[in-house]
Homo-oligomer: A and B are copies of this chain.
């Protein structure tokens, strides 16, 4: 059994991840929808996204320092710090900063633990809706306002009956946009603008595919862990590892993953 699957270690990582998400939520919610009217009247330029992002990451790092000081950290805001355990926490305090700025509840806090290869545990936390999507070697669950329950990605269905999501209509480069449309045009329904929440919907069994480009590692490692634990399949557009970001596809199951990859491969 790899060290990462030791039950005691998974308990420790789970408790730490949840405490980090709780700590981040205090900070991100403090600035979410806080408005910039008051700060404008003071004549100062105030960016609530930057403030929430930095405060959220500092709060998460403080929890980690207390609980697991020897793990490494890679954060969107404050960079990388090596550890000695072989485990690295990959943190994005506010994924979907444009949504956050617009008051939309589709941003989230992303946390992953990478064992040097893949993210083995992660979460997508949406504190405004009160939803936390979590994945580990023990499975995937959603904790929301009503209950805590297991979640699972959708079973296979033809692409013609599938729901596809991406955040930006242009996706990325013109070539990347064309590749996305090669898949989306064959799907039942395409939706835009949901940021990390789209990956949560794959894990929870509501959406079949999320296809994006230009991602950073901290954008995708948390979602990867959740989607994989829910039975889904995350890779780059060639079917290779997606940990580094770039062009990413998250699929509810291997069948629709293969169908979409074949279409993406035809694009330049």
Contact = CB atoms under 8 A, between A and B. Distances in A.
Interface of A: 33, 35, 37, 98-99, 101-106, 128-130, 145, 154-155, 163, 165, 169, 189, 191-194, 197, 201, 204-207
A201 B102 CA distance: 8
B102 A189 contact: yes
B165 A102 contact: yes
Nearest to A206: B103
Contacts of A206: 33, 35, 102-103
Nearest to A29: B146
Contacts of A101: 163, 189
Contacts of A155: 37
A145 B130 contact: yes
Given A33-B206, A37-B155, 20 more contacts: A33-B204, A35-B205, A101-B189, A102-B165, A102-B191, A102-B201, A102-B206, A103-B201, A103-B206, A103-B207, A104-B191, A104-B194, A105-B105, A105-B129, A129-B129, A130-B130, A130-B145, A169-B169, A193-B193, A193-B194
12 contacts: A37-B154, A37-B155, A37-B205, A98-B191, A102-B191, A102-B206, A103-B206, A103-B207, A104-B201, A130-B145, A192-B193, A193-B194
Contacts of A102: 163, 165, 189, 191, 201, 206-207
B98 A189 contact: yes
A21 to B, nearest CB: 18
Contacts of A33: 204, 206
A132 to B, nearest CB: 14
A143 B213 CA distance: 37
